[in-house]
Amino acid sequence: MKKPVIGLTTQQDVMVGKKISRINQPYIDAVIKAGGVPLLIPVQGEDSLSEDYIQALDGIIFTGGEDIWPHYFGEEPMKEVSVISHDRDKTEWGLFMKAYESGLPIFGICRGLQLANVALGGTLYQDIFKQVQNVGGHVCGYNTEEGYHSIELEEKSILHEIFGEKRIFVNSEHHQAIKDLGRGLRVTAKSADGIIEAIESVNDKFLMAVQFHPEAMAQKHDEYVSLFKRFIERCSK
Ligand code: MN
């Protein structure tokens, strides 16, 4: 059987004065472990190839990385928002919308969750540590292979089906989070301090997104590989 081809968006960096598109290896490993063929989507600076990617792919993972330019949700940036890439935003914006409209299965991780929410009309906290009262820790540092804070899963959600538990532990590497939810979405997990940690679509689209990094935990914990397996199974349909 043909393995599903899974697009992975990439992060923009500058190395020796030259722009590069890069990705953290655990994303690639997780897709392969879960039975997919990873295909990297470089930062392009525009979205003219979106239709071509959608034709070539069976599913797409919007990965973590830079903050989304706050003007996409109608706000001036706070000083805490310093790592942005217009090239990446332009590449991913049209790609997300076209993938969503065409019904291509979508999995959003960290920035990917935020992109999905904003593209569907939602907003973000630009910096939870400044904007959310009594917020807990959401930056666990280098140890992303292990859990950091807990999240509570909504019943009848994809996450709850996979983990079969009400409460799981996840890593955390974000200073932003969903404020107002975009259309066609429901919240499926929250941390104890009320931060939205997972969403999925309520319509016939397959869209799930998490604020944590399952690809990093998948290196040591098979349950997190199951998240990718569930997504990739859906991509083979
Ligand atoms: Mn978190």
d(C-alpha 56, C-alpha 53), whole Å: 5
Note if 215 is an active site residue: yes
Q: Examine the residue annotation and report whether 138 is marked as an active-site residue of this protein.
A: no
pTM summary value: 0.97
Confidence of residue 144 (pLDDT cuts 50, 70, 90): very high
* Distance between Cα 8 and ligand 1 center (Å): 22
Read out DSSP for 29-98?
HHHHHTT-EEEEE---SS-TTHHHHHHH-SEEEE---SBPPGGGGT-PPPTT---B-HHHHHHHHHHHHH
% of the chain with per-residue pLDDT over 90: 97
Ligand 1 mean position to 29 CA, how many Å?
22
User: Which pLDDT value is given to residue 142?
Assistant: 79
CA 170 to chain centre: 14
Helix axes 25-33 and 222-235, enclosed angle (nearest 10): 70
| Type of residue at 128 | I
pLDDT, one tens digit per residue, over 185-221 is 999 999 999 999 999 999 999 999 999 999 999 999 9
213 is known as an active-site residue: yes
Task: Give the Cα separation of 196 and 177 in Å (integer).
Answer: 7
Q: What is the pLDDT of residues 72-127, one digit of tens each?
A: 999 999 999 989 999 999 999 999 999 999 999 999 999 999 999 999 999 999 99
pLDDT above 80 (res 237): no
Provide the angle, in degrees to the nearest 10, between the axes of the packed helices 111-119 and 86-102: 70
185: closest CA among 99, 119, 237, 125?
Answer: 119
